[in-house]
Amino acid sequence: MKKTFKLVGLDCANCAAKIENAVQKIPGVTAANVNFMTTKMVLEADDSKMDEVISQATAIVKKLEPDVEVKKA
């Protein structure tokens, strides 16, 4: 399953790379991509783990970039 999210307030390419690297390490994630230019995060994970992956990915974004808001695209 693939889900896309808008990272509102993402204004740093290095921060986007840090978020992408951290999200890719979440158990169950098959692919993660954070595009700084479009401020979008695309997650791919097993259907059964998607809710947990989204929860952990959102927590990672908040930890690394507290001012960034994660919204469904």
Quick: pLDDT tens for 56-70: 999 999 999 999 999
pLDDT at 44 (0 to 100): 97
C-alpha to C-alpha distance for 34 and 70, rounded to whole angstroms: 12
C-alpha to C-alpha distance for 31 and 28, rounded to whole angstroms: 9
Structural contact between residues 16 and 42, judged by C-beta atoms closer than 8 angstroms: no
Radius of gyration of the chain (CA): 11
Position 32 pLDDT exceeds 90: yes
pTM: 0.93
**In the chain, what are the domains?**
2-72 (3.30.70.100)
